[in-house]
Amino acid sequence: MPPTTLNDFQSSAAALDRAASDAFASAGSADTLEKARAEFLGRTSGRLLDLQRLVPTFEGAERGSAGRAFNELKTSLEARLDARRIELESTARASRSDVDLTMPARRQFRGAEHPVTLVIEEIVAIFREIGFTVATGPEAETEWYNFTALNFPPEHPAMDLHDTMYVAEDVVLRTHTSPVQIRSLQAGPPPIRVVIPGNVYRLDPFDASHAPMFAQIEGLAVDEGVSFVDLKATLTHFAQRFFGATRTRFRPSYFPFTEPSAEMDVECRLCKGAGCAACKGTGWMEILGSGMVHPNVLDAAGVDSEKFTGWAFGMGPARIALQRYGIPDIRVLYDSDVRFLEGLAR
């Protein structure tokens, strides 16, 4: 068995998924479907079995990833096979009996996971591999958790009624997932390594690139001796895993809760940095904001900022989903239009 990389394994799995799905879908009779089943899911010589044999050639976390990818593929192909079998049986039944063939057919509704969910799950999986756990928190937060503890000055414009949805005098619909950073820091002493997915709310117009509710995902790492090197190395690793990006760049930025702060861009995959419509001619895609956790934030959460340091990042899975799936308008993600999800289902 030739040694293979996890990337090769994953692309083989994707190719197998496409080939098997196409074969099942185009099978016009029980016999051809059975041939397709034997080719892909055969117990002694199927193509899936060849892929399974590669799983034990990986070590450690990679073996886990390969095993999971294999199991997901197997489950989904078995489900597709069953669904197609039922379709063919009902067609065969219909042609045998004296039912009214002029009646409109009942469509098979086949759903799919929402693109934002898929993006979040993939991001979480990458950080899980390197020791991060998932943390969540309430969507209605006090001003203290949402702003004050995160080093927002009392007169910061984000706290304005025009920007933030207030539920009560001192309670807001969280404007970012960062309050969960404070809650994670309060929950126990460092080391802390968490990723925080969740929905956030802002008084933004509902247009092609804004929505008043959207998903965000953040990360936080706090320990003794954590430096900007850890931030750069970890986020670059993430960019390579998630985007297959060969290059990243960090640009200075400003956030109240980090100092120094940086935006990370990844090289545009479509044009490899040459500049195209997708990257607005820059050759780079803006992906996330990051920075070293401000000492005031650690102090507010009761963590000794003389002893501990940390870094954090935040990004918008919806924007990443738009890029990845070539969706031109963010509203499509929130419209609950079944035709959209059916289009993504295969």
* Residue 54 near Zn ion by CB under 5 A: no
Least Cβ distance, residue 260 to Zn ion (angstroms): 28
Considering only the stretches 4-12, 140-148, 169-177, 266-274, report the one whose residues sit in contact with Zn ion under the rule CB under 5 A: 266-274
**Cα→Cα distances 2→42, 55, 74, 253, Å:** 22, 12, 22, 46
Question: Using the rule CB under 5 A, is 213 a contact of Zn ion?
Answer: no
Stretch that binds Zn ion, among 91-99, 102-110, 124-132, 270-278 (CB under 5 A): 270-278
| Residue with tokens 């970890």, as numbered in its chain | 234
Residue 270 lies near Zn ion (rule: CB under 5 A): yes
Q: Smaller CB distance to Zn ion: residue 237 or 269?
A: 269
Q: Which residue is nearest to Zn ion (CB)?
A: 268
Q: Which own/partner pairs from 183-188 qualify as long-range (CB within 8 Å, at least 24 positions apart)?
A: 183/135, 183/137, 183/145, 184/135, 184/220, 185/220, 185/222, 185/297, 185/298, 185/301, 185/302, 185/303, 186/301, 186/302
SS3 102: coil
Beta carbon nearer to Zn ion, 124 or 279: 279
Task: Give the tokens for residue 107.
Answer: 């469509």
**Binding of Zn ion by 268 (CB under 5 A):** yes
Q: Which residues pair with 134 in a beta bridge?
A: 195
> Of residues 279-318, which lie at the interface with Zn ion (CB under 5 A)?
279
In whole angstroms, what is the distance from residue 308 CA to residue 189 CA?
Answer: 10
Choose among 287, 245, 244, 288: nearest CA to 267: 245
Shorter beta-carbon distance to Zn ion: residue 231 or 285: 285
Q: Which is nearer to Zn ion, 118 or 271 (CB)?
A: 271
Q: Which is nearer to Zn ion, 212 or 275 (CB)?
A: 275
Stretch that binds Zn ion, among 34-42, 60-68, 263-271, 301-309 (CB under 5 A): 263-271
Packing angle, helices 47-54 and 6-26, rounded to 10: 160
List the alpha helices (DSSP H) in 143-286: 143-146, 179-187, 228-243
Among 271, 327, 332, 341, binds Zn ion (CB under 5 A): 271
Strands (E), the chain: 133-134, 140-142, 166-168, 171-173, 192-201, 213-223, 248-255, 258-267, 284-293, 309-315
* By the rule CB under 5 A, 276 interacts with Zn ion: yes
268 versus 333: smaller Cβ distance to Zn ion: 268
Q: Of 3-11, 275-283, 293-301, 330-338, which part binds Zn ion (CB under 5 A)?
A: 275-283
Q: Which two tokens stand for residue 188?
A: 């126990």
In the complex, the smallest distance separating the C-beta of residue 321 from Zn ion, rounded to whole angstroms, is: 18
324 near Zn ion, judged by CB under 5 A: no
Q: How far is CA 320 from the centre of its chain?
A: 8
Applying CB under 5 A, what is the total number of residues that bind Zn ion? 6
Nearer to Zn ion among residue 138 and residue 273 (C-beta): 273
State the residues that interact with Zn ion by CB under 5 A. 268, 270-271, 276, 278-279
